[in-house]
Amino acid sequence: MRSSFTRANLPLLIWVAVLLAALVLTVSSMAGREWLKSNIFELLPESEYDLLTETATRTVDAELGTRLLFFVGHANRDIAKVTTDWFAGRLTEHPLIESVSTGVDGAQFSDMASFYYPHRTQILSGEQIARLAEDAAAVERKALAEVFSPFGVAASTLASDPFVLFPGSMQALQPASSALQLDDTYLWARKDGRDYIFVMAMVSSPTLSIGEQEDLATHVNATIGEAVTAEPGVHFLKTGFSFYAHQATQSAKGEVSTIGVGSLIGLLLLVISTFRSLRPLSLIVVSILAGCLVALAVTLSVFGFVHLFTLVFGASLIGVSVDYSFHYVADDAFGGEDWTPRSGLRNIFMGITLGLITSVLAYLALTVAPFPGLQQLAVFSSAGLMGAYLTLICMCRLWRRRFVVQDNSIILGFARGYLRVWQQSRPQYRYVLTAVLIIVMVVTWRSIEVNDDVRLLQSQPPELVRQEAEIQALLGVAQAGTFLLSSASTNEDLLQLEEALRAKLDDMISAGALTGYQAVSRWVPSQQRQEQSRDAYSALVHSRLPAYFESLGVAEDVLLSTTSDLTGQPRALEVTTWLEHPVSGPFRKLWLETPGENRASIILLFGVQDIDALSAVVADFPAATVVNKGRELSALFGDYRTRVVQVLVAAYLIILAGLSARYGPARAAVLLVPPVFAGLLALIVISLAGETLNLFNFLAMILVLGIGIDFTLFLAEAPGELTSTMFAITLSALTTMLSFGLLSLSSTYAVHSFGLTVLIGIACAYLLSPLALGARVRSAKS
């Protein structure tokens, strides 16, 4: 007696011990560290870049990712200024804000002027050189006007910069990308009757944790709120990667609870309406909870953290892991007088085991795409399913009292009725239906359109997008993110390469194909360019200075000293000097630190209209490449979409081979028809609804296969009467559709695509599953 008790309960005891261990593991993994992550970058694949491109991409990401841009607007610019100062002060108080700038720093400008002034003969812009060659007399006349200007200071610098060329050279050095105007030190622009003052803040890191994001966004929003309360006419615009990240986290958090709670409520309603008892629910809930616990424990021990994205998907796991319990409960409810937990388990064992294996295989197949996000999702889901499965197997005998299905349950009625339609129709109708579906699919196949653009996959809160667009319009700077990566063996070669590239870029700017760029060679011309500048300068001094000075009455000794000063030995202006000097500021990052002998640099581009046209231009320069992370990722997404299709085909072939061993090729093929058709129909329906397809639709097809084939397998494997199986399938299809249907409501397009495809696919797989009736192992007649 005692020994039989122990033997019967051994799996149960072991499983309870395992669950306790999982609980301890989970709690200890979560304690005292950041176990939940939300940074979208963690989900994306490692780029397939070489080291240099990777470094460059990181530099640019960090540069763009740490910026927060604001505009503080008011009809009265003085009020806007006061508010700006107050706002900047409050921003600075936050520990995550590294610096705040409210405009042009006068001292910074003067630093720059004193850095370049000694080199003034070497830094003439291309335009200035061209003008000197064209019409030196006009240059002199203009200088003369400056000398007499009531506002001018040109007269005082007449001896060192007689032709007033330095201000123009300085202008050319500044990035010509801003549409802003200056007032005191504030940069501003007018829009809709308000004067908007520009504020830029730098965040200390491009990747903030969820807590930090929350903290920063709360601080910024509270500060803005306070300002608007104090001065109702003030209007703020804000943009920055951190705000998008925060918004994405918030909506993902909301979705986790919506999907989780939604699934549970749906489940509750299903169970109550079907069994009029909460007892089946206790078995289901225990198996779901155990599944989630195992999933968390395994994921945390494999990855060390759980991504919010995994939880969003994971919440839909509830709807899948519940299937095993449903089969057990249904078998119990429909079992005869002599039904025991042991016999019930035996009845469903083959079906749910095959189901588990195919589902886990389907999830693992998701990992073909090297997206860390998908890998974690696959591990999480597989572990969760195995947890739920083992819980049922080990613990079901705890529910000794029989489950009773309400005979008037709608779901039972539907399952029974739907099954009867199929059972009573003649087998030929199945062929007719199959043929009709094939025709429909062939005809509508062309509506399918694919779009791999990675931007589609990020959630884009319209309010933030609108503010970003307004800010870009005010700044006159368009979207950044594309850059040129150039390399050469020496600094001089690299500067010359940049200058050659910039000549092409300038053409693109004039043609409206680009709005601007930042490049080191703008601040440090190549030696070659410096020599050209000096030659032009010397020619001007020799040809015009004596007469010019004489007309103004400048003393002879001043002419001599000025001439020798401006035509004497140059003062070397090197990249290394510039890099070490504070004037290079944030732009020094564009000159990359390279491990080897080679030098490399970034030219950051703004407002690229057509990246292919840009690539064509740059193709003439073998040492330069166009890098755009978004485009590379889109290409990668397209590449993996193709691979997923290949994996799907391979998976079907392998399953076909496996099933052929058990059922023979013909019946195995029949078993595969429902999930194959379901997946294809899902794609077609989504396309007909006007959406373009992406990687995630195809990844979802793997799940449609994994879950959809369960339906046909359960029907094929079911012993005796089919009502209980059809009933269980109906319940599990409903719960799966419920949870994935909720995913399709997600604001993140990737999640939406995935959810919608599974929703439609599973609906089709369920409706078509009775096609498998023709391939049953055991006869239905009893």
Partner 1 sequence: MFRQSANSHRKNPRMRLTRTTVLVVLLLLSARPGVAEEQVDAGLQDVVAQLAAPAVLRGRFTQTRKIQFISRPLESSGRFVLSDMGLYWQQEQPLASVLIADGDRMLQQVDDGPLESVDVGRNPMVLTFSKSFLSIFEGNETELRNNFDIAFVDEAGSWEIRLSPISYPMVEAIDTIILRGREYIEELIVVSRSLDETTIGFSDLQTVPDQLTEHEIELYAR
Q: Which residues bind partner 1 (CB under 8 A)?
A: 76-78, 104, 106-107, 109-110, 138, 141-142, 144-145, 147-151, 153, 155-156, 158-159, 167, 170-171, 174, 178, 180-185, 187, 552-555, 558
Rounded to whole angstroms, how far apart are CA atoms 172 and 166?
A: 10
State the minimum distance, in angstroms, from the CB of residue 749 to partner 1. 40
State the minimum distance, in angstroms, from the CB of residue 182 to partner 1. 5
Nearer to partner 1, 180 or 713 (CB): 180
Identify each DSSP E strand in 284-426 by its residue range. 306-307
Helix H or strand E segment including 99: strand 97-101
* Cα→Cα distances 302→26, 375, 428, Å: 12, 11, 51
Secondary structure of 671-730 in HEC code, one letter for each residue: HHHHHHHHHHHHHHHHHHCCCCECHHHHHHHHHHHHHHHHHHHHHHHCCCCCHHHHHHHH
DSSP-derived 3-state class of residue 512 = coil
Nearer to partner 1, 106 or 582 (CB): 106
Q: How far apart are the first and last CA of the chain?
A: 37
How many angstroms separate the most distant Cα atoms in the chain?
A: 124
Nearer to partner 1, 169 or 732 (CB): 169
Nearer to partner 1, 196 or 309 (CB): 196
Rounded to whole angstroms, how far apart are CA atoms 165 and 128?
A: 8
Contact 231, 73 (CB under 8 A): no
Nearer to partner 1, 174 or 642 (CB): 174
State the minimum distance, in angstroms, from the CB of residue 546 to partner 1. 15
Nearer to partner 1, 144 or 777 (CB): 144
Structure tokens at 735: 């719960």
State the minimum distance, in angstroms, from the CB of residue 109 to partner 1. 6
State the minimum distance, in angstroms, from the CB of residue 166 to partner 1. 11
* Cα→Cα distances 634→44, 295, 518, Å: 11, 30, 25
Contact 299, 383 (CB under 8 A): yes
Nearer to partner 1, 128 or 735 (CB): 128
Alpha helices, H only, 106-235: 106-116, 126-148, 166-173, 210-230
Nearer to partner 1, 6 or 181 (CB): 181
Closest alpha carbon to 707 in 745, 736, 683, 730: 736
State the minimum distance, in angstroms, from the CB of residue 161 to partner 1. 13
| Sign of the alpha-carbon torsion through 283, 355, 755, 677 | negative
Phi first, then psi: give them for residue 165, nearest 5 degrees: -95, -25
Nearer to partner 1, 76 or 301 (CB): 76
Nearer to partner 1, 185 or 425 (CB): 185
| Sign of the alpha-carbon torsion through 738, 739, 745, 749 | negative
State the minimum distance, in angstroms, from the CB of residue 135 to partner 1. 10
Rounded to whole angstroms, how far apart are CA atoms 450 and 454?
A: 12
Nearer to partner 1, 159 or 440 (CB): 159
Nearer to partner 1, 153 or 572 (CB): 153
State the minimum distance, in angstroms, from the CB of residue 536 to partner 1. 21
Nearer to partner 1, 10 or 153 (CB): 153
Nearer to partner 1, 472 or 769 (CB): 472
State the minimum distance, in angstroms, from the CB of residue 557 to partner 1. 8
Rounded to whole angstroms, how far apart are CA atoms 285 and 392?
A: 11
Residue 184 makes CB contacts below 8 A (sequence gap 6+) with 81, 103
Residues in the chain: 782
| Sign of the alpha-carbon torsion through 583, 585, 590, 595 | positive
Contact 499, 529 (CB under 8 A): yes
State the minimum distance, in angstroms, from the CB of residue 106 to partner 1. 5
State the minimum distance, in angstroms, from the CB of residue 524 to partner 1. 18
Residue 762 makes CB contacts below 8 A (sequence gap 6+) with 678, 704, 707, 708, 733, 736, 737, 740
State the minimum distance, in angstroms, from the CB of residue 153 to partner 1. 5
Nearer to partner 1, 21 or 560 (CB): 560
State the minimum distance, in angstroms, from the CB of residue 160 to partner 1. 11
CA angle centred on 166, ends 571 and 531, rounded to 5°:
40
State the minimum distance, in angstroms, from the CB of residue 125 to partner 1. 13
State the minimum distance, in angstroms, from the CB of residue 207 to partner 1. 34
DSSP-derived 3-state class of residue 763 = helix
Nearer to partner 1, 422 or 606 (CB): 606
- Looking at residue 480, what DSSP letter applies? E
Rounded to whole angstroms, how far apart are CA atoms 46 and 37?
A: 17
Rounded to whole angstroms, how far apart are CA atoms 626 and 482?
A: 7
State the minimum distance, in angstroms, from the CB of residue 122 to partner 1. 19
Tokens 């599953």, located at residue: 769
